[in-house]
C-alpha cells in the first residue's frame, strides 16, 4: 500500500492501524474533526514514517460535504490505495428512548454518514479501478440487542450496504472490507470494566492489516467473535427477546 | 490490569485516562499519573485518591536522525522506542529488564540497566521534559530551564506533576544483535571478581544468582552490541501469556519448583558459553512470557531491591544467608554492580555499589518479617532500597536512603500523592 487515507484518524483503532503500516506508506492523509489532535497525530506519523503526511479537519457527520472532502483528498494524494473509515460514537441507548432527536443524530453519525462516505469513496476507487475500502462496523450489527440496538442498527445498515457494494465493486477491481470488532480497549470503551473477551486496539489493527493485504471480505476481530455471534444469531427470537443482552 | 506488578495492594482509587497531551488534567486533590504499572510496589498506587493512566499518550513528537535525540509522549514504551530506532541505527541509552515501561515511568524512577557501570541511569540522558502542574503551569524543564524542577522530576516518583513529554538522547549502534558471554560461578567473591574484570571489557553486565544457595552460586552474563550482522535482524521474540486462571489460583512458586528451576538453570549455563542473541532476548528475557507475575497467584509477590556500597559488599552474604534460612526466595535473582556516574536526580536510587533484586512470594507475616530483617541489614551497611520495587520500607529508611529528600520535598506538587508517599512521608 502506498497511499493511505484514514477517516476518523484520531480513533484508537485508527491510530493503532497507522502505527502498524505507516512505514510502508508514501502518502498519508488523516481526516478528523479535531485540529489539535490531528496536529499531534501528524507529528507522530511524520516521525515514524518517511511518508508525506497531510491532515484535513472535517466533521464526518456532515454528509453534504463528503463529495468535496473526497475531491480534496484526491487532489492531495492522487490515487487512494487504501481508505480506512473508522469513526463513530457508542450510542447511549437509555437516552435514545427519551430523546429521539439524539437517537437520529447518532444513527446519522454511525450509520447514514458512513454509508454516504463509503459511496463517495467507492466512486473514486471505481474511477481509479483499484484500491481497498475498509469500513468498521461492529459485532453489534449482527443482531439488535436490548442494551444497544440504536448503535447496532446503524452498524447493521452500514454492513448490509457494504455487502452489496462489495459485490458491485468487483467489476471495478475495488476491494471492500467489512470490519467487525468485538470489545476493543479504546477511548470509546474507557468506562467499561475489561475482561477476557477484550482485545487491544493493536491486536485489531494487526487483523485489519492482514485482512486488507489478503483482500478479505468480512473480518471478525478477534476471530472468536464470528462464533460467538453465530450462536447469538441462532437463538430463537422467543428466547432471545427475554435475554438480558 | 494489575494496579502494580507485584499485585500486593488492593487499593480503592478512581481511574481515568489521558489520551492526548493537551487533555485537561482531572481536578482532584490527591492524584497520581501512572504509566504501565511495571513498578512492583506502591509508587504507582494511590489508595484513596485518583489514578490517571497516561499510557494513551503513546505518540512520538520528533526524532533527529543525525543526533539521535528523540522527543516523545509520556506513555511511549521503551520497546516502542527500540523497535522504531534500532533499524535506524540507534538504541536506548539505558534500559531496565523489561521493555514494557513507559518513558515517563523510566524518568520518574530514574531507572538503570545492565550498563550502569559505564552509562549511568536513564536520567543522565534526559535533555528536556514538559511538566504540567496542578496550578496550570506548563513548564519545560532541562539543565538550563526550571533546573530545580528538572532535578526533582527525574527520580521524582511522579509527585512533581504530570510529565507530558520527554526528550532524550539515544545511542548509536551499528548492529542489532548482541554478542553475549556467560560464565558460571560458585561464590559471591567470584561474582565480585568477575564484575570488576568484565566491566572493563563489556558494556552490559548482569548476573543471576541462585538465592537458595548459601555460597552464592550463579551465572554472569556480559554482552556487547555485535560487530556484524547489520541492523535488520529480528528484534522480537514470539509472545506467550500466562493464563488468567493461573493468576486466580494457587501460586506456582514453592520451595520445590524454585529448587528444581534454579538447579536446572545452573546446569544449562555451566561453564563458559559464547553466543549471539536478539536485543529482546538479551535485555527483556521475561517479556516474551506476558503476565508472568501471575505465577505468584492471587496473593502476589514482593520484590526487594537494595544497593550497598562496595566497601560493605560483604553484607549481601548475610542477606543471602537470611533468605536461604527463611527458605523464601524465588526463581533466579539479579545481582549487579553500579558505577559512579550520577544523574541530575535529587532522589536517584542509583549509586556506586552492588545491587541485588530478588522476588518473594507473598506469604504474609513471614515475608514481611524477612523483608524487615533485610532492610535493617542493608541500612546498617549504608545502603538504600529502591522505591520502584518497594512496598514496605519505613519512613526512616526512605529518609536515610535519600539524603537530598528535604530539598526534593519543596517541589512536590501539593495535589499529587501516592500510597508510597503516604507511607514514607508520614510525619
Ligand atoms: C520485569 C521487570 C524488570 C525490571 N527491571 C528493572 C531494571 O533492570 N532496572 C530498573 O531500574 N527498574 C526495573 N524495573 C522497574 C521499572 O523499570 C520501573 O518500575 C519503571 O518506573 C516502571 O515504569 P512504568 O511505565 O510501568 O511506570 P509506573 O510503574 O506506572 O509508574 C512508575 C512511576 O512513574 C510515575 N509516572 C508514570 N508516568 C508518569 C507521568 N506521565 N507523569 C508523571 N509521573 C509518571 C508514577 O507516578 C510512578 O511514580 C523492572 C520492572 C519489571 C516488571
Ligand atoms: N471500541 C470498541 O469496542 C468497538 C467495537 C466495535 C466497533 N467499534 C468501532 O470502531 C470505530 C473506531 O472506534 P474506536 O473504538 O477506535 O473509538 P474512539 O477512539 O472513541 O474513536 C471514535 C472516533 O470517532 C471520531 N468521531 C466521532 N464523531 C465524529 C465526527 N462527527 N466527525 C469526525 N470524527 C468523529 C472521534 O473523534 P474525536 O477524537 O474528535 O472525538 C474519535 O476519533 C468506530 O466506528 C466504532 O464504532 C469499536
Sequence ranges of the domains in chain B: 177-400
Run of H or E including B373? helix B365-380
What are the residues whose beta carbons fall under 8 Å from the beta carbon of B396, sequence distance 6 or more?
A: none
Report the C-alpha gap between B219 and B262 in whole angstroms: 11
Give the predicted TM-score (pTM) of the model: 0.95
Q: Which three cell numbers stand for residue B210?
A: 541462585
Residue % of chain A over a pLDDT of 90: 96
| Between A195 and A175, residue with greater pLDDT | A175
Mean pLDDT within A148-167: 98
Provide the CATH number for the domain formed by B177-400 in this structure: 3.30.70.2520
pLDDT for the residue B238: 57
Number of Cβ within 10 Å of residue B64's Cβ equals 12
Kindly report the nearest CA distance between residue A221 and chain B, in angstroms. Answer: 19
Query: What's the whole-number mean pLDDT along residues A211-215?
Result: 98
What average pLDDT does the segment A143-162 reach?
Answer: 97
Q: Write out pLDDT tens, residues A56-91.
A: 999 999 999 999 999 999 999 999 999 999 999 999
Closest CA to A118 of A90, A147, A159, A170: A159
A96-132 pLDDT, tens digit each: 999 999 999 999 999 999 999 999 999 999 999 999 9
In B339-422, DSSP assigns E strands to: 353-361, 384-385
pLDDT of residue B326: 87
Contact flag A41-B59 (C-beta cutoff 8 Å): yes
pLDDT of residue B237: 58
R_g over Cα of chain B? 20
**Cα(A186) to centroid of ligand 2, in Å?**
9
Residue B246's pLDDT is 67
Question: Which residues of chain A lie closer than 8 angstroms to B63, CB-CB?
Answer: 47
Beta bridge partners of A40: none
d(CA B117, ligand 1 centre) in Å: 20
| pLDDT at position B427 | 60
Distance B134 CA to ligand 1 centre (A): 22
ipTM: 0.93
Which three cell numbers, joined as nine digits, stand for B316?
A: 549481601
Helix A149-169 and helix A100-107: axis angle, to 10°?
30
Cα–Cα distance measured from residue B155 to residue B407, given in angstroms and rounded to the nearest whole number: 13
According to CATH, the superfamily of the domain at A3-240 is NAD(P)-binding Rossmann-like Domain (3.40.50.720)
CB contact under 8 A, A47 and B61: yes
Among residues B115, B130, B120, B112, the alpha carbon closest in space to that of B167 is found at B130
Which helix (H) or strand (E) is B206 found in, with range? strand B204-209
**pLDDT of amino acid B263:** 83
Give the pLDDT of residue B316: 94
B244 touches chain A (CB under 8 A): yes
Give yes or no for residue A94 having a pLDDT over 60.
yes
- Where would I find the beta strands (DSSP E) of B74-148? 90-91, 126-132, 138-142
- Report pLDDT for B9: 83
Distance linking the first and last C-alpha atoms of chain A: 40
DSSP chain A: --EEEEETTTSHHHHHHHHHHGGG-SEEEEEES-HHHHHHHHHHHHHH-SSEEEEEE--TT-GGGHHHHHHHHHHHHSS-SEEEE-------HHHHHH-HHHHHHHHIIIIIHHHHHHHHHHHHHHHHT--EEEEE--GGGSS--TTTHHHHHHHHHHHHHHHHHHHHHGGGT-EEEEEEE-SEESGGGTTSPP-TT-EEHHHHHHHHHHHHHTT-SEEEESTTHHHHHHHHHHS-HHHHTTS--
> Is residue B385 classed as helix, strand or coil in its secondary structure?
strand
State how far residue B62 is from chain A, nearest Cα, in angstroms: 5
What's the mean pLDDT in A227-244? Answer: 94
Q: Are the C-beta atoms of residues B264 and B167 closer than 8 Å to each other?
A: no
**pLDDT at residue B249 in the model:** 66
Residue ranges of chain B with per-residue pLDDT less than 50? none
CA R_g for chain A: 18
Tell me which of A39, A60, A89, A202 to substitute to probe ligand 2's pocket, judged by most ligand atoms within 8 Å of the beta carbon: A89
Per-residue pLDDT at B239: 67
B417 lines ligand 1 (CB under 6 A): no
Task: Give counts: helices (H), strands (E), chain B.
Answer: 13, 20
Q: Which residue has the cell 447496532?
A: A152
In tens, the pLDDT along A6-18 reads: 999 999 999 999 9
- Which three three-digit cell numbers place residue A243? 435475554
For residue B325, what are the contacts with CB-CB under 8 A and spacing of at least 6? Answer: none
The x, y and z cell numbers of residue B223, run together, are 554482552
SS3 (DSSP) at B398: helix
**pLDDT of the residue at B324:** 85
Amino acid at each position: 500500500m502506498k497511499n493511505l487515507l484514514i477517516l476518523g484518524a484520531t480513533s484508537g483503532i485508527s491510530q493503532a492501524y497507522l502505527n502498524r503500516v505507516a512505514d510502508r506508506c508514501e502518502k498519508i492523509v488523516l481526516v478528523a474533526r479535531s485540529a489539535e489532535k490531528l496536529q499531534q497525530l501528524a507529528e507522530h506519523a511524520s516521525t515514524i514514517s518517511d511518508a508525506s503526511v497531510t491532515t484535513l479537519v472535517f466533521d464526518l457527520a456532515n454528509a453534504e460535504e463528503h463529495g468535496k472532502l473526497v475531491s480534496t483528498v484526491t487532489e492531495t494524494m492522487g490515487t487512494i490505495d487504501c481508505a480506512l473509515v473508522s469513526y463513530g460514537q457508542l450510542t447511549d441507548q437509555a437516552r435514545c428512548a427519551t430523546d429521539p432527536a439524539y437517537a437520529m443524530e447518532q444513527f446519522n453519525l454511525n450509520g447514514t454518514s458512513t454509508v454516504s462516505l463509503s459511496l463517495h469513496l467507492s466512486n473514486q476507487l471505481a474511477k481509479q479501478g483499484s484500491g481497498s475500502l475498509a469500513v468498521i462496523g461492529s459485532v453489534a450489527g449482527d443482531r439488535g440487542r436490548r442494551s444497544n440496538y440504536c448503535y447496532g442498527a446503524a452498524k447493521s445498515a452500514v454492513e448490509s450496504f457494504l455487502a452489496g457494494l462489495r459485490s458491485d465493486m468487483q467489476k471495478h477491481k475495488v476491494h471492500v472490507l467489512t470490519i467487525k470488532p468485538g470489545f476493543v480497549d479504546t477511548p470509546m470503551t474507557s468506562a467499561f470494566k475489561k475482561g477476557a473477551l477484550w482485545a487491544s486496539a493493536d491486536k485489531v489493527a494487526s487483523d485489519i492489516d492482514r485482512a486488507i493485504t489478503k483482500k478479505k471480505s468480512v473480518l471478525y476481530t478477534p476471530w472468536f467473535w464470528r462464533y460467538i455471534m453465530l450462536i447469538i444469531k441462532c437463538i430463537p427470537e422467543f428466547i432471545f427477546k427475554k435475554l438480558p443482552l | 490490569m494489575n494496579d502494580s506488578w507485584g499485585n500486593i495492594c488492593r487499593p480503592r482509587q478512581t481511574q481515568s485516562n489521558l489520551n492526548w497531551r493537551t487533555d485537561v488534567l482531572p481536578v482532584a486533590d490527591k492524584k497520581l499519573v501512572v504509566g504501565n504499572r511495571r513498578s512492583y510496589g506502591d509508587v504507582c498506587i494511590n489508595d484513596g485518591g485518583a489514578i490517571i493512566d497516561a499510557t494513551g499518550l503513546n505518540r512520538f513528537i520528533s526524532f533527529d536522525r543525525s543526533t539521535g535525540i528523540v522527543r516523545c509522549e509520556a506513555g511511549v514504551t521503551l520497546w516502542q522506542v527500540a523497535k522504531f530506532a534500532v533499524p535506524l541505527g540507534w538504541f536506548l541509552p539505558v534500559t531496565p529488564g523489561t521493555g514494557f515501561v513507559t518513558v515517563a515511568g523510566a524518568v520518574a524512577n530514574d531507572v538503570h540497566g545492565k550498563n550502569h557501570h559505564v552509562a549511568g541511569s536513564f536520567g543522565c540522558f534526559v535533555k528536556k521534559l514538559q511538566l504540567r502542574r496542578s496550578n496550570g503551569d506548563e513548564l519545560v524543564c532541562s539543565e538550563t530551564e526550571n533546573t530545580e524542577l528538572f532535578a526533582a522530576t527525574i527520580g521524582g516518583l511522579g509527585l512533581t506533576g504530570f510529565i507530558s513529554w520527554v526528550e532524550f538522547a539515544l545511542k548509536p549502534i551499528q548492529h542489532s544483535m548482541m554478542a553475549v558471554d556467560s560464565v558460571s560461578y560458585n561464590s559471591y567473591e567470584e561474582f565480585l571478581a568477575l564484575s570488576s574484570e568484565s566491566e572493563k571489557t563489556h558494556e552490559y553486565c548482569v548476573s543471576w544468582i541462585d538465592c537458595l544457595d548459601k555460597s552464592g552460586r550463579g551465572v554472569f552474563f556480559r554482552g556487547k552490541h555485535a560487530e556484524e550482522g547489520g541492523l535488520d535482524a529480528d528484534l522480537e521474540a514470539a509472545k506467550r501469556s500466562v493464563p488468567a486462571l493461573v493468576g486466580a489460583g494457587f501460586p506456582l512458586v514453592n520451595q520445590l519448583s524454585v529448587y528444581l528451576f534454579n538447579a536446572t538453570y545452573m546446569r544449562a549455563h555451566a561453564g563458559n558459553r559464547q553466543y549471539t542473541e536478539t536485543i529482546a532476548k538479551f535485555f527483556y528475557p521475561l517479556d516474551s512470557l506476558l503476565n508472568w507475575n501471575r505465577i505468584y497467584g492471587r496473593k502476589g509477590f514482593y520484590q526487594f531491591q537494595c544497593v550497598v556500597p562496595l566497601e560493605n559488599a560483604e553484607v549481601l552474604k548475610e542477606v543471602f544467608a537470611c533468605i536461604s534460612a527463611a527458605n523464601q526466595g524465588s526463581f533466579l535473582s539479579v545481582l549487579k554492580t553500579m558505577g559512579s556516574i550520577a544523574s541530575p536526580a535529587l532522589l536517584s536510587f542509583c549509586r556506586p555499589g552492588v545491587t541485588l533484586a530478588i522476588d518473594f512470594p507473598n506469604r504474609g507475616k513471614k515475608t514481611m518479617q524477612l523483608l524487615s530483617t533485610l532492610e535493617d541489614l542493608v541500612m546498617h551497611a549504608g545502603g538504600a532500597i529502591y522505591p520502584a520495587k518497594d512496598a514496605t520500607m519505613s519512613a526512616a529508611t526512605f529518609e536515610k536512603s535519600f539524603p537530598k529528600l528535604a530539598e526534593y520535598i519543596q517541589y512536590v506538587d501539593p495535589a499529587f500523592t501516592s500510597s508510597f508517599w503516604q507511607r514514607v512521608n508520614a510525619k
